[in-house]
Structure 1
């Protein structure tokens, strides 16, 4: 079964920790061993795993993505004016997979799962799918 998770973003660029939502869903399935897929079906947002202890990491990541992919560039051709958000989303990627063992997500001590908004604020969704095995 696929679970749809809805959220609202508040800024043009932000990283929202969704680890608890993923963990809660995995717990609800009762699966002891397998994987969970976290998938974002948007072209201007993505999913990543990174440090969740120091908020400066999120700041630094978003700052550097803005430097690499500035919001405006004289050579951008996309009519909607959000080429940077598409580039950021492609760089981060649309999905992650996390191993489940003994009913728990296998994440490093400082790791969290993030929904990455690059064209907000918006109402967004991401999807979770647990595969037992």
Structure 2
């Protein structure tokens, strides 16, 4: 089953918890054993798994990515002016694969699935592919 969700971002850089959307897709697919792929079809937005209990983790991750990849740099050549967002996306990655066991996502106690916006605000699309097996 393939599910498409819309994500509306409100900042240039932000991490949005989409764990409940992924869980809903698994539930709708009624898959008891398998995997789920969460994929961002954007070159300036990614998907990651990280802590979802303390909001400071999101802050710290975005802060460090901005330090490593500043929005402006004198040697960037990309004409659109969003080179930092492309670099951040390649670092974070465009997708995550999660195991499904007994109809539930296998995530650690503090883990959540995040859509990572690096060039917002925008209207984005995330694909969730639930696979049995």
Instruction: Give 1:94's aligned residue.
Output: 94
Instruction: Give 1:52's aligned residue.
Output: 52
TM-score for the superposition, normalised by structure 2: 0.99
3-state secondary structure, aligned to 1:131: strand
Unaligned ranges ≥5, structure 1: none
C-alpha distance in 2, partners of 1:102/1:5?
24
Q: How does 1:10-29 map to 2 (within 5 A)?
A: 10-29=10-29
Unaligned ranges ≥5, structure 2: none
Instruction: Give the superposition deviation at 1:2.
Output: 1.3
Q: Deviations over 1:28-79 (max 9, x none)?
A: 1110000000000000000000000000000000000000000000000000
Instruction: Give the superposition deviation at 1:7.
Output: 1.3
3-state secondary structure, aligned to 1:127: strand
C-alpha distance in 2, partners of 1:21/1:130?
12
Instruction: Give 2:104's aligned residue.
Output: 104
How many pairs are equivalent? Answer: 133
Instruction: Give 2:66's aligned residue.
Output: 66
What is the Cα-based RMSD across aligned positions, in Å? 0.4
C-alpha distance in 2, partners of 1:131/1:2?
9
C-alpha distance in 2, partners of 1:30/1:3?
13
Q: Where has structure 1 moved over 2 Å in runs of 4 or more?
A: none
